[in-house]
Amino acid sequence: MRTPTRPPLDGLKKRLDQSRAENARMPRDGFLRETFVLPRNDARKKAKEWFDRWPKQAYWTSIESWFERPGDVIEFTIRRLPSS
């Protein structure tokens, strides 16, 4: 009786490599991050919404970085802890 051959693992290896590459780019500090590209007034509203929903004192919410883009557009990354 022959033992069955193993199925090819190329797809699994490829996906595992992709996942590891994605995780290598993300900091492992426990913060959740989200990046927005919005007009200035909408950016202010979005930041206020985050600080109202996840207060700085409990979730360490902060604007991690921001850039002013052409056309009065703001790109910013905001971070917070997943739970308080």
Q: Summarize pLDDT for 2-60 with one digit per residue, the tens.
A: 887 877 778 888 888 887 777 666 667 888 899 999 999 999 999 999 999 999 999 99
Are 61 and 48 in contact by the 8 Å Cβ rule? The answer is no
Q: Which pTM does this prediction carry?
A: 0.65
Q: For the beta carbon of residue 76, count every other beta carbon within 10 angstroms.
A: 18
Cβ contacts of 76 within 8 Å, gap of 6 or more: 35, 36, 43, 47, 63, 64, 65, 66, 67
